[in-house]
Amino acid sequence: MRRAAPFRAATAFTALCVVAAPTILAQSCSNYGSLLSNGTCDCPPGTGGNECSSLSCTNPLVEPSLRAVFNATTQSSTGCPGSSQCSSGFGGPTCGVCQSDAACQTVLGTMRVANTSEVQNPTLQSVFPGNTTLTIQKTANTSLSLSAPFGSDGTTQAQLWYADSGSNKTITEQFYCKADTCVQTNSTSTSTVDWSCQNLACTCIPGTMFCGGGGALDLTTTINGLSGTLDITCAQNGSTCAFKQSVLDTLFGANGLSLTGCSSGECVRASTIATLASQLVASDASSSSGLSPGVIAGLAVLGAIVLALLLMIVWGLVAQKEAKRAPAVVLDDKSAAVGLRWKDIGYTLRGSRRFFGLGSSRLENDGKVVLNGISGEVAPGTFLACLGPTGVGKSTLMDILGGKRKSGRISGSVELLSEGKTANKVLIGYVDQTDVLPPTSTVKEALMFAAELKLGESTPKEVKRERVFEVLKQLGLLDVADTFIGDVDRRGISGGERRRLSIGLELIAAPAILILDEPTSGLDSVSAMRVVQVLKTLASSTSGHRTTVIATLHQPNSQIFHSFDSVLVLGIGGRQIYHGPASKVVPSLAERGFKCPEGWNPADYLLELACDPPPHLFASHSADVSSSSSQAQPSEEESSKEVDVRALPAAQHASKGAKHLRQAKPATVMFTQFEVLAGREIRNLKRDWTLVVMHNLVAAIVGLVVGGLFYKVNTTIAGFQNRVGSLFFLGSLLAFSSLSALTNFLAVKSLFLRERAGAYYSPVAWLLSRVAFDIVPLRIIPTLIISCIVYWMVGLSHNAAHFFKFLLILVEFNIGTTLWNLFLAAAIPDPGTAILLSAVINLYTLAYAGFFLHLSDIPPVLRWLQWLAPLKYALEALAVNEVSAGLMIDDTLEGVKVQISAAVIMQTLFGFTPSAYYRDVLVLFAFIAGFAVLVVSTVVWKLREIR
């Protein structure tokens, strides 16, 4: 026989007990003893007497009924050893710890694991200042026992003993516990022995110091309520242990009650030790390789995201490869020119106005007529100018012919006129009145961007470059090809060059018909003339493809007017005054009694008539319309050509106009669109580095300020509040800094609307590139910078796992708030309203975060709003992550030293749930997913150009 150390034998382990279960005070046997048929009790080791309520001393290896009961008259504070009532070689309050091999050889038998430990906790010590000792006896394997053990395999019995520091120092039992389904593991990596049990139950003995017998605190309810899992973890040398259970962990920290001065021992056969040791090593190897459920779930989510991204990339590459195999777009210079004929075009307003940029309501002038029965045509390869004063519907007519989305009601029909087979993939190109261009791109880069997206993957790169050079040469932009476009804040190309560049972006795809709305607006006479000359050249080219041009002009000079092949004049009320050859406008009006004064510019005279037209002028315009087809032919050669007239299938539908003639969808696949858009975003970040530098520099500066304010917070109650305050400050900073995502989105929204209307790319591709190059450089990197500074300066948990969990929450929260602001920017047209609403919502999330106001104190009618506040989940997860590292509060309250788990203070001050970390991670992820769906839906379905 020999004595075995607790970490070497399966029955050896050190533990402390405080547990929960239904009390059994109604039984006649205490300490969970068994009532025998003869009316006596079969008592657990270490207890005796008629009801198993007394200490048993002398030799622990004999039957419990043969052991002497502790003589309480000795007033020993340590139990049997203090009164010399233990047999030689045994110690502990119940003589249950074997202290030498010689003691084991006195009687054959095996003692269950017997431990004795002193309970050391400042808070408990301040309430119960006497000597507190815990004894734990374990039955691990009855088959290895040399005597009849008490209980079945894998059971534990424990008693807590207390001796007051006053006059009566006799040790008395305060409560007792039991647990079953116990498993022991021996960890070589952490040098600890762990005894884990289930079904914990404890009973507080009424009338004792701990259980309402005159102590400063009655623990009856707490002790009787202990239940669930019991973990007893000891150092392998057996000197220190931790008694862990969920309630105790909440009260005293992640390690539960700390035990010091522990001793343990048992008697076993020498041959048993090697067998048990090998079993413990095997169990240690299997247990040390496992991952926690939270880590497994996190890795699963991360793996799913990575897999989804890889699948998207593979799908994109496959689709791109297939698109490159398609026939290349042929820009045939010899393809037939195309004209357009329209009949009885009308347009009526539906009438709506926005209410603070959020909704709409009907106007009294609903049904206002903008266009009234406009008919005409433009012959293939000619230049038609639409003239008229402001407000007569010129732009509206161009929108309808160009297939733009309109909010009003459209009527009439449109027909296509072709001289023969046309190879043009894009039939109509549209140049808007205002120039919306990327300011940080050069002229050549902007045209190349259009070529990459409009000519498709099947067109070789070299062909695209040649097309860009051809357009640059055709528009006279070669000298400024490498000049930045610029904007109001950055000087770039001139206004005339911007107009020609806007035209060039449409010419890249070689449209058959080019429609322009006020191409000379805001230009001086020289610049305007250059633009008109370019348009005239496009229409009258003799060496290449002829593009039919339709343009509105407000007040052209005489030289510009004589460049037109035909004109269409609209008057007040959207009615047509004249349509026919420009050269015959003066004679035609003279025949009707409207003679143009000598020396007048015909355009000026037409505008004067259009501003205040006589009624009979409208009555006579139908004759002009009926003969305009023959009159508009530019030459005898062209008049001899057979013109194919085709009614547009969708033209009869009032809501569509000529929409299907324009490029309806992007010419490239989404992966190519993302590549091209990403290239432009990277160029923008390189050239306009203000945002990137400011976000990261401000993050570093604010991080130092916050770190200085909360530098090395202590572990008092006030220090813990400061610790949570630093986390709240970080969350608030990220919430308000994400407002820049809203303003950045608004800055590029007009360019997106214009390019989407031109079918450059799909909205999803644009949104992916926008979000990727906003979130990574402007959200994630600054978050990492400020987190690394604040985390270590404040003195948060010095643990790598907790640091990365901290980063995960902040990154999740920042991405979520960024997506929310993107949604506001997409959904609300007015920037001021969007920013105001975002700021108000941020204030709401601050109020419901749980820092300023305890969540349970909020009136029930408003309390439910906490579940819609992302900052509440972020702050809770950050605080829980901090306390789960075992943070203990060491403070002094009115002279009494208090040591308690920070989880209790967290629940008391803020109402956070200690086990809520992974729930909060999933909720924040759900917010991200929900906001992403809102952003995508809004951009796809709402954020489009409607005139």
pLDDT digits (tens, 9 = 90+) for 851-908: 888 888 888 899 899 899 999 999 999 999 999 888 888 888 766 677 788 888 888 8
Q: CA 398 → CA 318, 606, 786, distances in Å?
A: 40, 19, 53
Q: What pLDDT shows up at residue 272?
A: 67
Give the count of alpha carbons within 13 A of 102, CB side only: 3
- Do 372 and 575 touch, CB atoms closer than 8 A? yes
SS3 call for 448: helix
Pairwise CA distance, residues 807 & 783, whole Å: 8
Q: What pLDDT shows up at residue 27?
A: 54
Question: Beta-strand (E) ranges in 615-706?
Answer: 644-647
Q: What pLDDT shows up at residue 664?
A: 65
Provide the token pair at 553: 């002009």
Q: CA 277 → CA 8, 9, 197, distances in Å?
A: 6, 6, 20
Provide the token pair at 480: 């400024």
pTM: 0.75
Residue 634: closest CA among 378, 336, 429: 378
Contacts of 271 (CB under 8 A, 6+ apart): none
Contacts of 314 (CB under 8 A, 6+ apart): none
Which stretches within 325-415 are classed as H helix? 394-401
Give pLDDT tens digits for 552-576. Answer: 988 888 888 888 999 999 988 888 8
Contacts of 717 (CB under 8 A, 6+ apart): 889, 891, 905
DSSP state of 66: G
Residue 113: closest CA among 95, 89, 97, 91: 97
Provide the token pair at 527: 């610049």
Contacts of 181 (CB under 8 A, 6+ apart): 154, 197, 198, 199
Cα 16 off chain centre by: 44
Residues with pLDDT less than 50, the chain: 1-26, 108-113, 281-289, 355-364, 622-623, 625-643, 647-657
Beta bridge partners, 899, equal 890
Q: Which residue has the tokens 């003893």?
A: 33
DSSP state of 919: H
Kind of pairing between the strands at 383-387 and 548-553? parallel
Q: Which residue has the tokens 């917010």?
A: 927
Pairwise CA distance, residues 377 & 658, whole Å: 14
Contacts of 893 (CB under 8 A, 6+ apart): none
* CB-based burial label for 465 (10 Å; 0-12, 13-18, 19+): middle
Q: CA 744 → CA 297, 576, 680, 773, 779, distances in Å?
A: 35, 44, 15, 11, 13
Q: Which residue has the tokens 């040591």?
A: 899
Q: CA 196 → CA 178, 247, 605, 939, distances in Å?
A: 12, 16, 100, 55
User: Torsions phi, psi of 152, nearest 5?
Assistant: -90, 180
Neighbour tally for 652: CB within 10 Å: 12
Q: What pLDDT shows up at residue 730?
A: 93
* CB-based burial label for 39 (10 Å; 0-12, 13-18, 19+): exposed
Pairwise CA distance, residues 666 & 664, whole Å: 7
Q: What pLDDT shows up at residue 361?
A: 46
Q: What pLDDT shows up at residue 149?
A: 62
Radius of gyration of the chain (CA): 44
Provide the token pair at 292: 């926690």
The 10 Å CB-count burial string (b at 16+, else e) for 603-620 is bbbbbebbeebeeebbeb
Which region, left, alpha or beta, applies to residue 553 given φ > 0 means left and ψ of -120 to 50 means alpha? beta
Amino acid at 349: L
Kind of pairing between the strands at 566-571 and 383-387? parallel
Q: What pLDDT shows up at residue 4?
A: 42
Q: What pLDDT shows up at residue 654?
A: 34
